[in-house]
A and B are shown apart, each in its own frame.
Chain A
Amino acid sequence: MTKKPITYPRASHTFDAYTNSEIRRAAETGIYDIRGGGSKRKLPNFDDLLFLGASISRYPLEGYRESCNTKVTLGDRFSSNPLNLAIPITIAGMSFGALSAQAKEALGRGASLVGTSTTTGDGGMTKEERACSKQLVYQLLPSRYGMNPDDLRKADALEIVVGQGAKPGGGGMLLGQKINDRVAEMRTLPKGIDQRSPCRHPDWTGPDDMEIKILELREITGWKVPIFVKVAGSRPYYDVALAAKAGADVVVVDGMQGGTAATQEVFIENVGIPTLACVRPAVKALQELGLHRKVQLVVSGGIRNGADVAKAMALGADAVSIGSAALIALGDNDPRYQKDYEKLGSTAGSFDDWHEGLDPAGITTQDKRLSKRLDPKLGGRRLANYLNVMTMEAQTIARACGKNDLRNLEPEDLCALTVESAAMAGVPLAGTSWIPGA
């Protein structure tokens, strides 16, 4: 009998294994997939840029000894008490509720050890967080959960959250498993509900209203503390221009790799633009208003190491902010919990069911037993170490480019590996002088 020729089984790129599993999951549950974190798809990012180290045409600074300033002041446009940070890396807003009280404390401790700021989140300010954070940014979110004037006056800066990179145009989510008595009380919500926060502020809509809102906040706080406006990366040129025009001291732009405690997977992966694509339009908006370096620009969303810090700053950011990376430094997705992750149907490195409150690392949970796994003091030390490493890495690169201040890095120090990243970052393709779209 003649053997029939066969071809190899061919998997579909369109209906790949993940897609098929999601279709089956949707068919079984009737609810969209909810998860934490930021975009996991392969996106153009800072890895697609390279620094042009000094050689004959430029000379470098002595790598280990010459000074390279890392200090940055945020918010000196209108406020009398701006934030003076020792490093240009801040900790992004993450709520108590989404995170355990221990995790919030650890973030405050770590940030304070290295002289930078940390940020509250949807759900208000906890006393542990305030006590452990030398410089604390208090977020004003659409939900106004836990918002009160006493905490407002305790804050070192305020951040009006318009949007978040993981979900531009969307509101937060905190599922019932994490709404225990304390979280429910702080948010004035019934215990155990699946809380879905509003996506718009309750008392203003457009940029003209926001200008008056900023006036109100300044009047309440006596024009002392800086006011940040955080926008999601979607139309950074227009949003940054409007935020600056409305009177922000600092604008934070969060790209789609920026994490969230919980939202729909379809939202995380399909709404917003990559962080890399946000920076130049944001800088351009400020430059055209004559406000670059006067209104500071903070970039967040997938910042992982000193190279990312240096690249964001070379493109014109004054500082960066980290969230997911800070949680990893505390122990999120650590391989030592591999068996626990497997019990939850995940693996160390890919666990993102933060909304279910069963985080083996004790970070994204309100479970008393699990949250005890995180020692806030040790976590703080680990975060401080990580922040120090990132800073030293950024300095190493800056010195190699001949810069004695991280903010002296400039687009001219960069080239791109791909046509896409060259166009997004507005820097030449490596080995050429071609900037697509310029």
Chain B
Amino acid sequence: MHILDFEKLSLRDINRTLQDANKHSSFSIKNPKGSHALAVGINKKMDVNVVGSVGYYCAGMNKFSNIKIEGSAGPGLGENMMSGIVHVTGDVSQYAGASGHGGNIIIDGNASSRCGISMKGIDIIVKGNVGHMSAFMAQKGSLVVFGNAGHALGDSIYEANIYVAGEVASLGTDCVEKKMTKKHQNDLRKILTNANIAINNLDSFKRFGSARSLYNFKVDNAK
């Protein structure tokens, strides 16, 4: 395992090292001190372990790599990521997984507002609570919340699925509770299994999705 220490290296040095590294490399990043834009734009399968908390956009646009943050993360964690796994042991700020196209984000703590905003295929698992406007305009993928969800959950949602085990403060426009079918139970189990989360009973989870009433303009013909 290679050690990259912020006490000795600049952000550019660290990101360049990660971006240029060979496939299947392993890195441990020490003393991140809340740095922004850390481990962004990685394009290969590798393991990156960050020891400490990070700032904005950690793991942004990630592809293939497996990034673990032993701490908390600032806004925009894993924004627009395409694949790979991002795991945060603490809490995360706003917009986690924003517009993510694929891969997994696993948050052991809580996520702030707009978690999964505009998500486009990513699966996000939050073991704690999520803040207001989470999954706003979510297009594809799943947001799984073990705790509670804040106000206006899933506002203007498209074809993404939201699974919440706790309470939902309120649903956003065009977001409705949907039947938790066997298929959806299987889908949820698969998402959790992929994230190495063992759970036997999924009964507490409710599913939410689009009522699809905003998909097209309504035009009258009052001649």
Instruction: Indicate whether A47 reaches chain B with its CB closer than 8 angstroms.
Output: no
Q: Which residues of B contact A143 (CB under 8 A)?
A: 118
- Which of B16, B136, B220 interacts with A29 by CB under 8 Å? B220
**Does B2 reach chain A (CB closer than 8 Å)?**
no
In the complex, the answer to whether B82 meets A219 with C-beta atoms within 8 Å is: no
Q: Mark A174-216, 1 if CB is under 8 A from B, else 0.
A: 0110000000000011101110001000111000010011011
* Minimum CB–CB distance for B92 against chain A, Å: 12
Contact of A188 among B36, B95, B139 (CB under 8 A): B139
The reply on B117 being an interface residue by CB < 8 A is: yes
- Interface flag for B19 (CB, 8 Å): yes
> How large, as a class, is the contact surface on chain B?
35 or more
Q: Are B99 and A27 neighbours in the complex by a CB distance under 8 Å?
A: no
- Residues facing B in A24-62 (CB within 8 A) are 27-31
CB < 8 Å neighbour of B215 from A31, A193, A203, A209:
A193
CA distance A152 to B43 in the complex (A): 12
> Known: A149-B43, A149-B63, A220-B41. Contact between A190 and B215, CB under 8 A?
yes
Give 1 or 0 for each of A234-268: 1 = CB within 8 Å of chain B CB: 00000000000000000000000000000000000
Main secondary structure of the interface of A (DSSP, over half): loop
- Specify the chain B residue showing the minimal Cβ separation from A32: B217
- Residue-wise, chain A 208-232 has the 8 Å CB interface mask toward B (1 for contact) of 0100110110011111000000000
Beta-carbon nearest neighbor of B19 in chain A:
A222
Q: Which residues of A from 131 to 170 have beta carbons under 8 Å from B?
A: 143-144, 147-150, 152-153
Given contacts A193-B215, A194-B217, A212-B56, 5 further A-B contacts (CB under 8 A): A198-B118, A202-B136, A216-B40, A220-B40, A222-B16
Q: Which A residues are closer than 8 A to B by beta carbons? A: 27-31, 143-144, 147-150, 152-153, 175-176, 188-190, 192-194, 198, 202-204, 209, 212-213, 215-216, 219-223
Chain B positions near chain A (C-beta within 8 angstroms): 11-12, 15-16, 19, 36-37, 40-41, 43, 55-57, 60-61, 63, 75-76, 79-80, 82, 94-95, 98-99, 101, 114, 117-118, 120-121, 136-137, 139-140, 158-159, 215-223
Give 25 CB contacts A-B under 8 Å.
A30-B220, A144-B80, A144-B98, A148-B61, A148-B80, A149-B41, A188-B121, A189-B139, A189-B158, A190-B158, A193-B158, A198-B118, A202-B98, A202-B117, A202-B118, A202-B137, A203-B79, A203-B95, A203-B117, A204-B95, A209-B56, A212-B36, A216-B79, A219-B41, A220-B40
